[in-house]
Amino acid sequence: MTTSAQAGARPAPPTTRSGAPLSLDGVTFRYPSRRRAGVGVGPLTLDVPAGEFLCVVGPSGSGKSTLLSLLAGFLRPRSGQITLGGEVVRGPHPRLTLVQQEAALFPWLTVAGNVGFGLRGLNRAERAARVTDTLRQVGLAGFESRRPHELSGGQRQRVALARALAIQPGLLLLDEPFSALDHATRTALADELLALWWQHKVTVVFVTHQLEEALHLGQRVVALRGGQVALDAPARSVSLEDLRRTLEDEG
């Protein structure tokens, strides 16, 4: 797959956007257990336009994982609300999908079976065509019959991305999906992700603790500190040093 992103140039924002707009209005969440104290979030008010690539950064305990769980519908806000495409998110939503640090593939299924797992509503021919096309997009054409244990770590993450994109989501959530990979594979997959975002025009929220990765990938960067927004700015206007200063502990 040869793209401007792989050549080192950031692709322009999609001109036609099929992703869904995301909105957080006064969202708060606190864990009831004292053992989880300090990792809640809010109040958060944030709008993510359709088709935007948003990166969220912050140190451990800043609320990144909690925010992602709220967006995915695994947690419900204590106050405020989250909407996706104008619809309130009250649980896992059919228009969003999540890719985590580990690929979390079903080991008993083939690559094709994993990618097609969320396509049960399509007939067999449509499902096969969608799987084949999505695997081609992530550079895994011809791998349909492989099992997860026969793949490298980078290939498994490509399958996870293909599975997420195959359902044609309005919102794609990514939780440090490249953190377990070596630097070269991580860099290659980051550029491929940009190309896929350009092609699918999906709204993306990408959570990472790697500041350089956030500035490379994101159109916009949100930095969390203490569960609240410490910085919200276009990535092009933020330097690495700006981010580091923002995330320094007070005092």
pLDDT tens digits along 123-164: 889 989 999 999 999 999 999 999 999 999 889 999 999 999
Residue 7 domain-assigned?
no
Q: What is the mean pLDDT of residues 67-84?
A: 94
Q: What is the pLDDT of residues 13-71, one digit of tens each?
A: 444 446 899 999 999 998 876 555 556 898 999 999 999 999 999 988 888 989 999 99
pTM of the model: 0.87
C-alpha 169/C-alpha 159 separation (Å) is: 16
Would you give the DSSP letter of residue 250? P
Contacts of 189 (CB under 8 A, 6+ apart): 154, 157, 158, 177, 178, 181
176 shares a domain with 89: yes
Residues 225 and 156 in one domain: no
Q: Provide the number of structural domains found in the chain.
A: 2
Q: For residue 165, give the H/E element and its range.
A: helix 153-166
Answer yes or no: is 91 within a domain: yes
| Distance in angstroms (rounded) separating the CA atoms of residues 63 and 102 | 20
Using alpha carbons only, give the angle 198, 203, 204 rounded to the nearest 5 degrees. Answer: 90
Closest by CA position to 22, among listed 43, 42, 51 = 51
Closest CA to 161 of 199, 218, 128, 124: 199
Please tell me whether residues 124 and 160 are part of one structural domain.
yes
Distance CA 207, CA 68 (A): 8
Residue span of the structural domain in which 164 resides: 102-168
Q: What single-letter DSSP state applies at residue 52?
A: -
Task: Tell me the sheet residues that pair with 82.
Answer: 24
Residues 161 and 194 in one domain: no
Q: Does 226 lie in the same domain as 245?
A: yes
Does residue 6 sit within a domain? no
Q: Are residues 223 and 112 in the same domain?
A: no
Q: Is the pLDDT of residue 1 over 90?
A: no
53, burial (CB in 10 Å: exposed 0-12, middle 13-18, buried 19+): buried
Q: Which tens digit of pLDDT belongs to each residue from 153-212?
A: 889 999 999 999 998 899 999 998 888 788 888 888 888 899 889 888 899 999 998 899
What's the confidence (pLDDT) of residue 37? 53
Residues 237 and 175 in one domain: yes
pLDDT of residue 135: 93
Residue whose pair of structure tokens reads 């860099």 in the numeric block: 187
Assess whether 176 and 136 both reside in one domain.
Answer: no
**Do 115 and 60 belong to one domain?**
no
Per the domain annotation, does 143 fall within a domain? Answer: yes
Same structural domain for residues 201 and 129? Answer: no
Tokens of 117: 């797992």
| Cα dist from 52 to 25, 105, 201, 218, 233, whole Å | 18, 27, 8, 8, 13
- Residue at 127 is within a domain: yes
Query: In terms of domains, do 176 and 251 share one?
Result: yes
The answer to whether residue 60 is domain-embedded is: yes
Question: Would 164 be classed as within a structural domain?
Answer: yes
Question: What's 199's domain CATH number?
Answer: 3.40.50.300
Q: Are 59 and 82 found together in one domain?
A: yes
